Amino acid sequence: MRFNGLVLAASAIVLGACGGGEKAATTDTAATAAPTPAATATTPATAPATGAAAAAPATGATHDVKMVMDAKGYHFDPADITIKAGDAIRWTMVSGGPHNVAFDGATLPADAKGQIDANMPEKMMELSGKMLLAANETYTISFANVKAGKYDYHCTPHLAMGMKGTITVQ
């Protein structure tokens, strides 16, 4: 009896490990299937209509901003920064995390919103960068192809505590 139970348990494990393999192969095949001519013909026509921008790498200097929680409260240091178009900003989590960098899409000009979003790597969602959890962890955004202007941003977890900043692109 003990041997039959062992064989039954081993068989269940083997079958469980093998199950679903065929389904994954079907998914892979579907994902690599060549697009139909109709799909290829409509893709370029619809791409410009969406207004999606391509990520643009920084071509200028990289400026540093610290994300801090200290006796002054939660804040970016410096809170207001002026950069040139093409520069990048690297935020470093110093203390009081988690922190992130996020923009309010309702306050951004439509012609800048898409480029800023495209230049943000590892996003949690539109216009919201990943959470920085560990000290010295960084997050960098390129401001290449971003038009001149003033852009307000904030830390989502600490917005209610006034963790806000302004980026002026010249």
DSSP string computed for the chain: -HHHHHHHHHHHHHHHHHTTHHHHHHHHHHHTSPPPHHHHHHHHHHHHHHTPPPP----S-EEEEEEEEETTEEEEESSEEEE-TT-EEEEEE-SS--B--B--TTTS-HHHHHHHHHT--SEEETTEEPPB-STT-EEEEE-TTPPSEEEEEE-GGGGGGT-EEEEEE-
Confidence (pLDDT) at 52: 73
The yes-or-no answer on residue 75 being catalytic is no
- Please state the φ and ψ torsions of residue 72, each to the nearest 5 degrees: -80, -10
pLDDT in tens, 19-78: 444 444 444 444 444 444 343 333 333 333 345 799 999 999 999 999 999 999 999 999
Helix (H, G, I), strand (E, B) or coil at 105: coil
152 and 166 Cβ atoms separated by less than 8 Å? yes
The yes-or-no answer on residue 155 being catalytic is yes
The yes-or-no answer on residue 154 being catalytic is no
| C-alpha of 159 from chain center | 18
The yes-or-no answer on residue 163 being catalytic is yes
Q: What is the pTM of this model?
A: 0.70
Please name every residue paired with 73 in a beta bridge, in sequence order, or none if there are none.
Answer: 70
pLDDT in tens, 66-120: 999 999 999 999 999 999 999 999 999 999 999 999 999 999 999 999 999 999 9
> Average pLDDT for residues 147-165, to the nearest whole number?
98
Confidence (pLDDT) at 41: 36
Helix (H, G, I), strand (E, B) or coil at 23: helix
The catalytic position among 63, 75, 99, 154 is 99
The catalytic position among 67, 93, 120, 155 is 155
Which residue has 């959470």 as its token pair? Answer: 131
d(CA 62, CA 2): 67
